[in-house]
Chain A
């Protein structure tokens, strides 16, 4: 089972990559509280799409885990599972637990 710290590392790298691609300055700091979706978010809605794909692809390439993070359940949740780095990390771990495919 992949460690939470590894997932957080992937998300941090993905946020930096997406911000770099969008021509935005790198974030001064990233933590579990860094907001991804909603007021005060570091990314716009299109960049969030890129971020989710980037995280999925990194999980697949680096850890041989195939997941779909934008599931029906995730997209209809009252509180977005993409709203912050910490919440996204928990969502990734939950999704893997529920049926992520290993290699």
Chain B
């Protein structure tokens, strides 16, 4: 029989860099057992942190990863689906292969991690799923059609998962940060970023701490009745 860890187990996808790495380091430092993944090696280490090389769009790889976590720890408490890919392209210049890959990683990948982690969460009738979306969907940012569409799909997926998984004590919420200077938006022209920031109620870039704050809120024991919600920063609704 599998022994159940006495610490919370947190799964974070896309933890090699950026927001995912920040969250992984933060929760590992707080003493949680953090299991991260990305397509390549993490390139960093921390106590309480274990990394796996997993493409979230690969069904077998996701299953193998989550099954391994369940065998080692006997529980999964939190999933943060942060892994995503984005390319900034006018729709008239977007190849089908680019669109399909974005949908595979951002939508199918999120679904696969939710599905297999929820199966483990069900046993303890407890779980917190946080799926990352983006403000570029509600603001309909030109040049991000497929990325925004994929993240809109994540919001809908999350809302429905909230109903499908609620009976097992699993909450599912989405979170859309304002632009944060990570690799994901390094290719976006500065004037585009400035224009987005100027359209916000709070006119500043997002920070890693903004993300921790929202995740903390969704993960809090008192948030067991907060589900199916999407929380955007900066005044976006």
Contact = CB atoms under 8 A, between A and B. Distances in A.
Interface residues of A, number: 12
B72 to A, nearest CB: 12
How many B residues are at the interface, by size bracket?
10 to 19
Contacts, number: 27
Given A60-B70, A60-B71, A61-B2, A66 B63 contact: yes
Given A53-B122, A61-B2, A66-B67, 4 more contacts: A60-B67, A60-B70, A61-B71, A68-B63
Interface of A: 46, 50, 53, 56-57, 60-62, 64, 66, 68, 101
Nearest to A103: B71
A65 to B, nearest CB: 10
B1 A61 contact: yes
Contacts of B2: 61
Given A60-B70, A61-B1, A53 B64 contact: no
Nearest to B67: A66
B63 A57 contact: no
Given A60-B71, A61-B1, A61-B2, A53 B63 contact: no
B119 interface: yes
B123 A57 contact: yes
B78 interface: no
A56 to B, nearest CB: 7
